[in-house]
């Protein structure tokens, strides 16, 4: 009987296989680093916005001359478009600054009469886009009758304009607001 030497399996690493192993380790490490950075970046931008600072502007509009008040310059492009373009003159009546906490209603007594209740509901922000805020607005006219009850979505820093009433001479009462974090 002939005996043969016992064969064992050895893995010999060639320079090519060692280089391939290093490349694989590098790619896996790079992917882990990219994943960690994406998670960190998403968490940093997805922080909960619990408070926003808002500016509310009461505006008187009329058909007479006079143009747009210089205090309303950021709104000029919006006021020149329908439905606001029916009026030719816009004057700032009052300005209200309010800090709104998330899910806490804030009441604002308006000089034109009535009351505005504002509720900062939530925010959203997609990658590469502006922060978008959701607010609930409830406007009661000077007689206490509910004239507006709405939920609006607006980009942070952009103005939103609504008509809150009309005067006997055909003028209008407007309310504009903008919010930022």
Q: Quick: pLDDT tens for 70-120.
A: 999 999 999 999 999 999 999 999 999 999 999 999 999 999 889 999 999
pLDDT above 90 as % of the chain: 54
Model confidence band, residue 22 (pLDDT cutoffs 50, 70, 90): confident
In this predicted structure, the answer to whether residue 42 has a pLDDT above a threshold of 60 is: no
Place of tokens 């192993």: 21
In this predicted structure, the answer to whether residue 177 has a pLDDT above a threshold of 90 is: yes
CA 64, 67, 68, 70 dihedral sign is negative
pLDDT above 70 as % of the chain: 82
Distance between CA atoms of residues 25 and 5, nearest Å:
37
Listing DSSP states for 148-180 in one string gives: EEEEEEEETT--EEEEEEE-TTS-EEEEEEEEE
Cis peptide bond N-terminal to 127, omega within 30: no
Closest to 139 (Cα-Cα) out of 149, 130, 127, 129? 149
């Amino acid at each position: 009987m002939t005996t043969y030497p016992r064969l064992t399996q050895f893995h010999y690493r060639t320079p090519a296989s060692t280089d391939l192993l290093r490349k694989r380790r590098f790619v896996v490490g790079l992917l882990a680093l990219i994943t960690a950075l994406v998670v960190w970046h998403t968490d940093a931008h997805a922080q909960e916005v619990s408070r926003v600072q808002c500016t509310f502007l009461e505006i008187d509009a009329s058909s007479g001359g006079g143009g747009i008040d210089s205090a309303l310059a950021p709104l000029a492009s919006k006021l020149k478009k329908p439905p606001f373009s029916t009026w030719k003159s816009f004057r700032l009546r009052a300005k209200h600054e309010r800090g709104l906490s998330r899910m806490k209603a804030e009441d604002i007594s308006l000089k034109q009469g009535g009351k505005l209740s504002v509720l900062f509901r939530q925010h959203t922000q997609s990658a590469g886009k502006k922060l978008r805020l959701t607010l609930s607005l409830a406007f009661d006219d000077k007689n206490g009758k509910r004239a507006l009850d709405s939920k609006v979505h607006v980009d942070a820093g952009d103005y939103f304009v609504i008509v809150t009433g009309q005067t006997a001479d055909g003028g209008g009462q407007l309310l504009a607001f903008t919010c930022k974090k």
